[in-house]
């Protein structure tokens, strides 16, 4: 189903920075209207009042949104700045441009009658056309006839953020997609932010980074390939660390399937691996080998979260093991000093 820009009404910041690039989003560009009823007179006691009905028509909210970008530098409510790595107020900073006076006002027409007749349908058709013409005129002015519109924002701490929109017009219907942005989409992703706080090896953080980057570009299967690699690396690492205690020689271990390997390592793996009883790995593999892109995108957040939980648990386990070893050596020192 095609996304509509109006789906982002109330959170356009999300579209501008969090939404994947290169996806065409439909601009419905429907006029808005208001209805008023005015009582003119009461002709007689038995019939109702004589009223005048008035419809006033206004620009579509999309038109209003982009118009605001052309003429004002409004403060946004708070949003996440990846460069501050926290939520901060934003101000819109796209250079102001001069737009036609006629375009600045929002009301575009009104229709009044004592009896609203079918005539109003014709009038509304002309309003639809007018809104489309106004949108076209605005976009042409704002993009200098290139269809490309860079939007600039500044966070409270002075970081500059930018997103580049491209408008298309097919048979009179407008759509918009993002063709670039800084910082990149994945840096706005909550699970990416969490991975920045993890103390993990460069190799793993690079694979996580690639998974996030692919996900942000809507490449689901590709992203899951990297999550599966992390899972496999953690299994192998656990085996290498504990092989002396495991009583399973390398050749024997390598011959086992993943479920068998999980059984061997059960006591040494983060508990979330056992929680998912091998299902996590089989799902990772299924997504990589069998499932369509659409399913991969549907599952990716859950799969990523599972890997993140495992990585967090692994970090805690390592921390505990470090403390345990230090404590053993401290106790030994006390012990040998006492016996002197
Ligand atoms: Zn910032």
DSSP single-letter state for residue 118: T
Per-residue exposure over 323-338, b if at least 16 CB sit within 10 Å of its own CB, e if not:
eeeeeeeeeeeeeeee
CA of 123 to the centre of ligand 1 (A): 48
Q: Are residues 157 and 116 in the same domain?
A: yes
CA of 84 to the centre of ligand 1 (A): 4
Domain count, the chain: 2
CA of 304 to the centre of ligand 1 (A): 26
Q: Are residues 214 and 311 in the same domain?
A: yes
- What confidence tens digit (pLDDT) does each residue in 103-132 have? 988 999 999 888 767 788 899 999 999 999
Tell me the pTM: 0.68
Nearest to 159 by CA among 237, 259, 48, 85: 85
**Which of 140, 159, 184 lies at the terminal end of a domain, its last residue?**
184
CA of 184 to the centre of ligand 1 (A): 14
How high is the pLDDT of residue 117? 74
Give the total residue count for the chain.
Answer: 340
DSSP single-letter state for residue 159: -
Contact by Cβ (8 Å): 42, 50: yes
- What confidence tens digit (pLDDT) does each residue in 310-337 have? 999 999 998 998 999 999 999 999 999 8
Instruction: Count Cα neighbours of 153 within 13 Å in the Cβ-side half-sphere.
Output: 27
CA of 132 to the centre of ligand 1 (A): 36
Q: Are residues 312 and 218 in the same domain?
A: yes
How high is the pLDDT of residue 186? 87
Q: Are residues 177 and 238 in the same domain?
A: no
How high is the pLDDT of residue 130? 95
CA of 156 to the centre of ligand 1 (A): 6
Q: Are residues 175 and 235 in the same domain?
A: no
CA of 72 to the centre of ligand 1 (A): 21
Contact by Cβ (8 Å): 264, 278: no
Q: Are residues 62 and 93 in the same domain?
A: yes
Question: What is the pairing mode between strands 50-58 and 107-113?
Answer: antiparallel
More confident residue, 90 or 2: 90
Q: Are residues 137 and 208 in the same domain?
A: no
Residue 180 above 90 pLDDT? yes
- What confidence tens digit (pLDDT) does each residue in 43-87 have? 777 777 888 889 999 999 999 999 988 888 877 778 889 999 888
CA of 88 to the centre of ligand 1 (A): 7
Q: Are residues 109 and 36 in the same domain?
A: yes
* Residue 133, domain extent: 5-184
- What confidence tens digit (pLDDT) does each residue in 184-242 have? 998 888 777 777 777 788 888 889 888 988 888 888 999 999 999 999 888 888 998 88
Nearest to 102 by CA among 132, 138, 128: 138
What average pLDDT does range 263-270 have in this prediction? 90
**Which of 139, 164, 184 lies at the terminal end of a domain, its last residue?**
184
CA of 235 to the centre of ligand 1 (A): 38
CA of 167 to the centre of ligand 1 (A): 28
How high is the pLDDT of residue 43? 77
DSSP single-letter state for residue 198: S
Q: Are residues 153 and 199 in the same domain?
A: no
More confident residue, 194 or 279: 279
Token digits for 154? 């500044």
Token digits for 265? 């390592």
How high is the pLDDT of residue 114? 82
Q: Are residues 228 and 333 in the same domain?
A: yes
How high is the pLDDT of residue 31? 95
Q: Are residues 306 and 172 in the same domain?
A: no
- What confidence tens digit (pLDDT) does each residue in 240-265 have? 888 888 888 889 998 988 888 888 99
Q: Are residues 41 and 94 in the same domain?
A: yes
């Amino acid at each position: 189903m095609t996304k509509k820009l109006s789906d982002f009404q109330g959170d356009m910041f999300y579209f501008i920075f969090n939404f994947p690039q290169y996806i065409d989003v439909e601009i419905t560009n429907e006029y808005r209207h208001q209805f008023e009823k005015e009582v003119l007179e009461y002709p007689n006691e038995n019939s109702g009042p004589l009223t005048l009905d008035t419809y006033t028509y206004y620009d579509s909210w999309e038109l209003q949104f982009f118009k605001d970008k052309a003429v004002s530098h409004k403060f946004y409510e708070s949003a996440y700045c990846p460069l501050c790595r926290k939520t901060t107020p934003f101000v819109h900073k796209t250079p102001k441009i001069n737009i036609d006076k006629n375009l600045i006002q929002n009301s575009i027409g009104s229709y009044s009658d004592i009896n609203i007749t079918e005539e109003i349908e014709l009038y509304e058709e002309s309003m639809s056309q007018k809104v489309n013409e106004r949108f076209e005129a605005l976009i042409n002015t704002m993009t200098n006839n290139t269809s490309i519109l860079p939007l600039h924002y500044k966070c409270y701490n002075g970081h500059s953020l930018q997103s580049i929109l491209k408008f298309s017009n097919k048979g009179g219907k407008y759509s918009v997609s993002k063709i670039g942005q800084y910082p990149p989409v994945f840096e706005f992703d909550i699970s990416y932010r969490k991975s920045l706080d993890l103390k993990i090896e460069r190799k793993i953080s690079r694979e996580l980074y690639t998974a996030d980057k692919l996900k942000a570009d809507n490449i689901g299967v590709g992203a899951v390939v990297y999550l599966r690699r992390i899972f496999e690396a953690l299994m192998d690492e656990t085996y290498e660390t504990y092989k002396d205690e495991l009583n399973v020689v390398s050749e024997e271990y390598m011959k086992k399937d993943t479920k068998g390997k999980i059984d061997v390592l059960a006591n040494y793996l983060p508990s979330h691996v056992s929680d998912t009883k091998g299902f996590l790995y089989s799902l990772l593999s299924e997504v990589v080998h069998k499932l369509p892109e659409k399913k991969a995108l549907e599952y990716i957040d859950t799969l990523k979260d599972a890997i993140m939980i495992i990585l967090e648990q692994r970090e805690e386990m390592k921390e505990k093991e470090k403390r345990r070893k230090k404590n053993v050596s401290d106790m030994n020192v006390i012990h040998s000093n006492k016996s002197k």
